Amino acid sequence: MKLAKTFIAIAVISFFFASFITAEEPTGKDIFLNSKCNTCHAIASQSITSKQAAKYPDLSTVGDKGIAQATLVKYLKKEVKLNDKSHPVKFKGEDAQLNVLAKWLLTLKK
Ligand code: HEC
């Protein structure tokens, strides 16, 4: 019996660590969708659609604009302007997520 209990304990612990190690970090795309950025922006190149695509810029080539990652992060926190305009919404998640999101957006190029 003792052996069986030990075996079960090891199995449970291994399972716990295995799921911990393989738990995937959200990608920039996940964060984009979870943050509902696509209520306004489409990203056609990523098959992301927006019902308001006609009103807001598509971000398919935002990485070609020469925006620095640090600037984009601040822009999405409404700390700086781009083209003399503030972003209409402020990012509400954690900084770490915003960095992943900004980094991913800047990979979107023609
Ligand atoms: C309420 C609508 C709305 C939402 C939601 C929104 N945006 Fe925007 N976004 C805009 C508008 C409007 C602009 C353009 C502002 C301007 O004219 O300069 C913009 C501009 C941008 C730009 C710069 C585009 C360029 O070509 O200069 C980026 C990058 C961006 N948004 C990313 C995001 C991200 C990431 C999210 C989600 C966290 C998001 N936006 C959510 C409306 C929105």
Predicted pLDDT at 4: 77
- Split at pLDDT 50, 70, 90, the class of 24 is confident
pLDDT in tens, 72-101: 999 999 999 999 999 999 999 999 999 999
Rounded distance between C-alpha atoms, residue 97 and residue 26, angstroms: 8
Tell me, in angstroms, the distance from the centre of ligand 1 to residue 25's CA.
24
pLDDT of 10 > 60? The answer is: no
Mean of pLDDT values over 56-71: 98
Give the CA-trace dihedral at 75, 80, 83, 86, to 10 degrees: 70
Mean pLDDT lowest among 7-16, 24-33, 46-55: 7-16
Q: Which atom of ligand 1 lies closest to the CA of 31?
A: 38
Rounded distance between C-alpha atoms, residue 58 and residue 21, angstroms: 35
69 lines ligand 1 (CB under 6 A): no
Predicted pLDDT at 22: 65
pLDDT of 41 > 80? The answer is: yes
Predicted pLDDT at 73: 98
Mean of pLDDT values over 27-51: 98
Tell me, in angstroms, the distance from the centre of ligand 1 to residue 86's CA.
9
Contact 101, 36 (CB under 8 A): no
Residue nearest (by alpha carbon) to ligand 1 atom 25: 62
Residue nearest (by alpha carbon) to ligand 1 atom 13: 87
Q: How many CA atoms lie within 13 A of 20 on its CB side?
A: 6
